[in-house]
Structure 1
């Protein structure tokens, strides 16, 4: 049965649904039974299973039971009777066949054993099994709720949990309190815990919740709804943080859902507030121990709006001064306005992007402007910035940093301004009276940023946004919602260095692979990172790809993002040169490489700006097909300066075409690239300076 046929399953009316679908499991035996519509033109024929990876089909007789239903029994031991000792990884899907009368003739129709074809579903003993060392997990597919078995394959949380929301959430200096709701498919819940994980330390804390069954869905009777609530003592939590770790930390919150019959819990982000969160939820507060103060602030991240707690550790004296000065920040801003202080930053630990490039320009070309860069003393980029002007560094969390930030006239950042604020709370903008200019990180459009830097986003404030072309300006207006008066076409600060003279003889026969850096949390509920790593590793180990690079004398360099750090050993085992994105000057790598392959890294635009070919490699996965997460396709589908490949064969075909043209950028892609960049010069920083100056005047 193909995908087009199963697409119609959700459109069946109640009267066309069969009465009952049932699963019983006893030790290694799975009995599947169903009761059909009582119609003369329908006859049961048989059951069958399909091994998805191999296409192997096994048919089973349908046994008629006393109650009129039909059943068959599958022995899990028999699944492995003819297999080698090596474990196989596969998915097994369940189907049934009916004889349908059409006038005087009968014909066979095949259907998946899908929850969507039945009015009711029940199960008994449905559980995970281990047979001869093979792990077998029952689940229902996300797309059409088809009953399947996963053999030695981990299953995404979305197969079990259809939906989850935060129904209520509040915070005080004493505690965090929250309650929520989740819909579980075909399984029952034994326990729900909240798990916190520190991004830097990896420290985990388990918080028990009170949960209870709420009701079954009236329309989708295989869905059961559960509620939960919990309370976290922030005083105790912060004290434990100080004992183990006195560094800044971002703590992500997850739900660990223990489903009846499964060995391991299903882990999902604590996310999706069902109602707008009250503004006071975002306020920060300090908890002091000895000479230190931990500043706590909660925020929501990403499209899922997942809950995160930011902990910033200050010297108590400095934090106290900030709290005392903040209410009078309007006065300080007014008194120092004539000093015309400009503050620039990316994050406290980085100076690599547009913030760094614009800061360097300002110190070299406009020393008359009092310009500072916010940076932590522990930053690996500290020496580089100090070499430009050590007096222009605002050391993060210092007294000078606090005073200068409050007195500044304009703050220029590459992302959310509160990333370099004394508190990570979005409400910190209320104490910072300076104008905010978004320098940007990359050309906008490849990623959905509407819930982070969108014009109507309540936790983000911006006064001026910089873009590179009319195309990007249109995206900013239509998708992010910015009015035209807040947008300036200047180009990005890094473009000046990107376009600076680079002798052609320095271009090496290098194929650069650049996976996108995507933070999905300590637990990746959709397995996206694993799928990305698997796709690129499969490409690197492919014999045809290796033959292609050898034939054309191409050095393959993989710039590994921090999100794929856990797969570093696997990449090292391939015959490539491996570099770390966060340790490399990517512009230099771009200027000396011949061509680029990426999945969806926005810096692909930078590479194309050098008039060199780019290919987007996005192998199809179940998750991409369902959620259409390949944003690269729907944002710039007709304007992207490079082709998209969804299979290794199609990628190799595109590489061969490039090789036949001496790895030159095609005229079509060159035209698309021209449409994405208003200026092809090295004067973006000058335009940015003039745009900000005019805006402030």
Structure 2
């Protein structure tokens, strides 16, 4: 029964028309709340206006939202920037030391949202303080109340897959969509996405500024990051069902591989299992890594940029976080053990071909991947020539002005 329920939820989530219709109905039901907040703003004179409301998933501060918030508070304190985040967390404490915050979903969040000039986020939905809706639904039902409010999609990575089903303008209504590399910008400005001229901007990811500024300051260590991305079709399964999945079994077998663990011990290399998505982070204990040479990192407790800067190699399957690592000109490899399943259940291939454009070799066999790790160690983690050429082609220019470029677009 549990698996049936999970499959049903997944089908509903992947049925975009059904999901969007339900969200639109939710927004209509909550319209009286929106009107109430709007009227309060009209009579309350002490509520700041022209707010730039910034954040990520409402519980975290580790991505482009945090990077741009830091930039505004350091370089443009005249901008009334406010970060939305859950109140009782280490991440929230960190953000409060930088600038003003509101509790995610609170009345203060609603006031800040309604009075905001810009709403900036790495994800759709989370900055909207009305239950279960995205920017599109707010704009369709309530946009006439605040016609000058703009939504800025900061992105949480380089969009490399075919996102036509979920990121077209008719579905998102984003006023600004941040892109980084030239092929990504060219893809998102194609007619099939339907964005008006000027809505797609190529400013670069805000978090890249920190990487660029610190690449020669933070010492690189003999450490490897393994960062597999999540599988959306596993989000609603139980732990018992999760450990029976191909995804869990292949990752678990790799992490417990005796040859890998002996190699790490013999070579004195630190290996971190560091999945970037919160859905797998919360299931890390299921991998039972205590008696291995594999360490784990919690995305909510570590400095993401520092973790990358200290590492010499990254392994992923399909995560766009590898673009961050390639930006540093560091060694990478792909462990794609379920390519067919991933393409059918998650994202279809887009303009980016791993075989043609990827920043490192691709493996489906864990033993071959372990051999690649040995080669990387033997070469002191140097990047092979053909992959360095691809990296340089993808990132021809490096600077620390991604935040500045975005600010200039908005101001």
Task: Find the aligned partners of 2:296 and 2:203 in 1 and give their Cα distance.
Answer: 34
Distance of aligned partners of 1:630 and 1:420 in 2 relative to their CA distance in 1, 3 Å threshold? closer
TM-score computed with the length of structure 1 as normaliser:
0.51
Alignment of 1:569-648 (within 5 A): 569=286, 570-620=288-338, 623=341, 627=344, 635-637=352-354, 638-648=356-366
Name 1:403's counterpart in structure 2.
111
Task: Find the aligned partners of 2:272 and 2:380 in 1 and give their Cα distance.
Answer: 19
- Pick from 525, 530, 537 the counterpart of residue 252 of structure 2: 537
Name 1:4's counterpart in structure 2.
none
Task: Find the aligned partners of 1:322 and 1:628 in 2 and give their Cα distance.
Answer: 36
Name 1:271's counterpart in structure 2.
11
| Superposed CA offset, 1:110-168 (max 9, x none) | xxxxxxxxxxxxxxxxxxxxxxxxxxxxxxxxxxxxxxxxxxxxxxxxxxxxxxxxxxx
Name 1:663's counterpart in structure 2.
381
Task: Find the aligned partners of 2:350 and 2:371 in 1 and give their Cα distance.
Answer: 20
Alignment of 1:317-466 (within 5 A): 322-326=34-38, 339-389=49-99, 392-417=100-125, 419-426=127-134, 427-429=137-139, 430-432=141-143, 433=146, 434-446=149-161, 448-457=162-171, 460-466=172-178
Distance of aligned partners of 1:622 and 1:591 in 2 relative to their CA distance in 1, 3 Å threshold? closer
Distance of aligned partners of 1:651 and 1:631 in 2 relative to their CA distance in 1, 3 Å threshold? farther
Alignment of 1:143-154 (within 5 A): none
Name 1:489's counterpart in structure 2.
202
Structure 2: 5+ residue stretches without partners: none
Task: Find the aligned partners of 1:501 and 1:592 in 2 and give their Cα distance.
Answer: 10
Distance of aligned partners of 1:405 and 1:632 in 2 relative to their CA distance in 1, 3 Å threshold? same
SS in 1 for 2:59: coil
Alignment of 1:203-282 (within 5 A): 255=4, 268-269=8-9, 271=11, 276-277=17-18, 281-282=22-23
Q: Report if aligned partners of 1:498, 1:591 keep a CA contact under 8 Å in 2.
A: yes
642-651 or 372-381: bigger deviation: 372-381
Task: Find the aligned partners of 1:431 and 1:476 in 2 and give their Cα distance.
Answer: 27
- Shift of the alpha carbon at 1:419? 4.2
- Shift of the alpha carbon at 1:505? 7.2
Q: Report if aligned partners of 2:91, 2:301 keep a CA contact under 8 Å in 1.
A: no
Name 2:230's counterpart in structure 1.
517
Task: Find the aligned partners of 1:643 and 1:493 in 2 and give their Cα distance.
Answer: 28
* Structure showing the higher strand proportion among its residues: 1
Task: Find the aligned partners of 2:362 and 2:375 in 1 and give their Cα distance.
Answer: 13
Task: Find the aligned partners of 2:268 and 2:153 in 1 and give their Cα distance.
Answer: 42
RMSD over aligned CA atoms reads 3.7
Distance of aligned partners of 1:501 and 1:651 in 2 relative to their CA distance in 1, 3 Å threshold? same
Task: Find the aligned partners of 1:403 and 1:650 in 2 and give their Cα distance.
Answer: 55
- Shift of the alpha carbon at 1:665? 1.3
Structure 1: 5+ residue stretches without partners: 1-192, 196-253, 257-265, 287-294, 298-318
Q: Report if aligned partners of 2:243, 2:249 keep a CA contact under 8 Å in 1.
A: no
Distance of aligned partners of 1:608 and 1:270 in 2 relative to their CA distance in 1, 3 Å threshold? closer
SS in 1 for 2:293: coil
Residue 395 of structure 2 is aligned to residue 677 of structure 1: yes
State the structure with bigger RCO (CA 8 A, min sep 6), 1 or 2. 2
Distance of aligned partners of 1:549 and 1:453 in 2 relative to their CA distance in 1, 3 Å threshold? same
Q: Report if aligned partners of 2:158, 2:184 keep a CA contact under 8 Å in 1.
A: yes
Q: Report if aligned partners of 1:348, 1:379 keep a CA contact under 8 Å in 2.
A: no
Residue 283 of structure 2 is aligned to residue 566 of structure 1: yes
- Shift of the alpha carbon at 1:677? 3.0
- Number of residue pairs the alignment of both structures matches: 395
- Shift of the alpha carbon at 1:621? 7.2
TM-score computed with the length of structure 2 as normaliser:
0.82
SS in 2 for 1:394: strand
Q: Report if aligned partners of 1:467, 1:473 keep a CA contact under 8 Å in 2.
A: yes
Name 1:548's counterpart in structure 2.
263
* Structure showing the higher helix proportion among its residues: 2
| Superposed CA offset, 1:642-676 (max 9, x none) | 22111123213333443343211122222222333
Distance of aligned partners of 1:368 and 1:532 in 2 relative to their CA distance in 1, 3 Å threshold? same
Name 1:15's counterpart in structure 2.
none
Q: Report if aligned partners of 1:361, 1:685 keep a CA contact under 8 Å in 2.
A: yes
- Shift of the alpha carbon at 1:489? 1.4
Residue 212 of structure 2 is aligned to residue 499 of structure 1: yes
- Shift of the alpha carbon at 1:579? 1.9
